[in-house]
A and B are shown apart, each in its own frame.
Chain A
Amino acid sequence: MQLIACPWCGPREEIEFSYGGQAAVAYPADPASLSDEQWARFVFFRDNPKGPFAERWVHSAGCRRWFGAVRDTRTYEFLSVGPLSATTARTSVLPEATP
């Protein structure tokens, strides 16, 4: 079984962790102004890269802390782990707002 390096507890078995999806999906600044399509895009649409992907993970059976990781989706190799905020700059999945 693959080991994942929790930034707090160190390397632990993958079974102790839970996946939290793409990291740094920014909450809309003004949710009320979004169209249904824009809202759906925020709620459901995520990147699906072939290669390094910034993700959120939680050490659910250990320290219960969330952290960020960059994982290669082709090899499942963890390239880096760190605090959530430091993993990636915040990015938005929303399309540019059209006035």
Chain B
Amino acid sequence: MKSAQTWLMSGNQAIARGAYEAGVTVATSYPGTPCTEILESIARHPGIEALWSTNEKVAYEVALGASFAGARAMVSMKHVGLNVAADPLFSSVYTGVNGGLVVVVGDDPSAASSQNEQDSRHYARAAKLPMLEPSDSQEARDLVLAAFELSERFDTPVLVRLTTRICHSKTLVRVGDPPEPRTPTGFIRDFDKYVLLPRQAILRHRALEARVEALAQYAEAADWNRVEWRDLRVGVITSGLAYQYVREAFPHLSVLKLGQSWPLPAQKIREFAAQVDEVWVIEELDPFLEEQIKALGIPVASEGWIPRVGELTPERILHSVEQRAPQPMQLGDPSIPGRAPRICAGCQYLGVYTAISRIGVRVAGDIGCYTLGSLEPWNAIDSVVCMGAGIGTALGMEKALGDRVRGKLLAVIGDSTLLHSGLGPLLDLVHNRGQTTVLVMDNSTTAMTGLQGNPANGQTALGQSGPGVNLEKLIAALGIEWVRVINPYDLAESEEVLREALDHPGPAVVISRAPCLLLKRRETVQQAHLTEEACTGCGECFQVGCVAIERQELAGRPAPLINHDLCVGCTLCVQACPEGALQPRRLVPDLVELETCLTPAQPR
């Protein structure tokens, strides 16, 4: 069957399609914006083992194992996930592959949903594996197919680098045919290749250096590095989405579009540079290409012009080039207040953070929806670094300050993050005689990225369900004797148990357990109502931080105005009010649908 179909696809969907057409057998990932949708999309294709792994390192290793077994395998993750997977990444470049192995990484310029703005292209050079960079969805699909060929031809994993705008932009894609069935060869024992003992490591390193030379040679003729001749006064060298911006901003200039950002086709670059009066290098984030091009002895006229912070747009490039200086990052009109993300009305976190802010402790946070507890009105989180960092940093503070922080240190971590990379630190806390209290926020899902399955809820990417891990038993097995589960909707209990845990000599774990509100559309059976005469304007209810609690003025005093489109009747504000001015009132029979306030951006 010859299909010449054209579909409108996001970069993520196109990657998934490319992997499907390439005959991928195993695909793995850990959810993370901007790449989450790749695995979700792959899971909808027939005949592929799609796996949500516990973390990116595991995801990488599972894909590598599949490759060792002769299957084509793909692993995808966000930029910071590649840091987690860096260990197997570097060494798998030594072992090489059997079936093709493609590693997709999504960078996040402007850090729209991330803790940093790293440029993952540096990994290609550091670990010495080829990197391809698509500039739209069509190339995402095409280059994934090319990456599998490259991987098998050169016996190496291949990186494919995306950025948020590629992942989430939809452009037209000519798709190819479904794959021919492939049968993995099976694992073929090869001691010197797959067992990286010191002697083998040196042997493999030697082979690797030769491979890099061959890859650079191959890049000279590869069709993904292409020259577009136009006006010869300026030649722009660019890659990824920056190529599209350059075409938009300078439609008349000659361009060398590098589909491969490492290793570079040195000869091709030299020839291009020789034909133009001056060379500009325009790329998003770090001067990765620019530095390599300068190292070839080619002067780069645009040096210092291109912004290094925040994502580019065609206008920003134009302006920076005109001014010969980077234009600072701009979003909307700064005089109009933005809308910071908020915790959902009635979420368990409201109760927990209200309790924490009442106690007043130093809190080392972690990454998930609960990171929002660092904002007003709770200001409950004092540090957020990376996945799983909270427990370790809290222990470090404890070791540095000893008695000064005894009973005043709390690490907060979600269930999915705990399983991702929090168990090691928790064990460390026990082993090194720490006394830090750990609060596990168990909402039975990976909520921030759109409700993926994880080992705690027992849901897999392919829709299998099971009991999931028992967190209490798991934590107890690490040697923590003091473990308590709280109902986060009971404010007094939460506060009391947390105080007890903090006072406990030795490590203590509190599990706050209630399902994420997005998991099930539940009926709202009651809502909070204000008795105006009883309200003294003390403001305690505002400290709950619920989006459904707006402000009004009553007799010159601030008073809550409950937004009944949003209130789900969790009663946290009712418990917080010392005057009994807020009371739950049952809703009959006209039930308010929770969905009105909770609408995920992506159709599910």
A, B: real partners: no
Q: What residues make up the interface of A, taking CB atoms closer than 8 Å to B? A: none
Q: What residues make up the interface of B, taking CB atoms closer than 8 Å to A? A: none
